[in-house]
Amino acid sequence: MIGLIVILPLALFLGWILKNSVTLYCGRAWPSGWVSLFWLSAALGLGLGIWFCGYAEWKSMQFRRLPIPIARFNPATEVWREMEMSAVMRHVVLSVDFVAGLALAMSPITVSMRFAEFMDESRRLVAGKTAQAKPSADDAP
């Protein structure tokens, strides 16, 4: 039960990152370079998520499968010892690990797309201000 205190907020945060990525991508017609980067990041994220779920081991940190570990390495016996958790919790942990890999790869393109959208909006506002007719002192009654 204590694991849910860590897992649930992490899952919600990762879901928020992915929701923002998809919403930002679908929200406007992006040039082909951005579209390619988005899909490249998604493919990298799928690979990273699979690696996090099945193959990630850090003997130096003594954990298997981060960000939420499911096994701990004992350097004295050189054996991986599974952490005690129910089967349902283990599946939840692996799902969150997969989503973490996907979100980790998607976050740089999401931030870049958000920054590009902000810059476009800033340029549009500046262009709108300079395009307005400025009243002159001669026109005043």
Residue 67 in any domain: the answer is: yes
pLDDT at 43: 92
State the pTM of this model. 0.68
Give the domain range for residue 98: 57-111
Residue 90 in any domain: the answer is: yes
Residue 73 in any domain: the answer is: yes
Task: List strand residue ranges (DSSP E) for the chain, in order.
Answer: 57-58, 63-64, 71-74, 79-82
Number of domains in the chain: 1
Going by the DSSP 8-state scheme, the letter that residue 54 receives in this structure is: H
Q: Per-block average pLDDT, block size 10, for the chain (141 residues)? A: 74 88 85 88 89 73 70 78 79 84 88 87 81 58 57
Residue 36 in any domain: the answer is: no
The full 3-state SS of 106-136, as one line of letters, equals: HHHHHHHHHHHHHHHHHHHHHHHHHHCCCCC
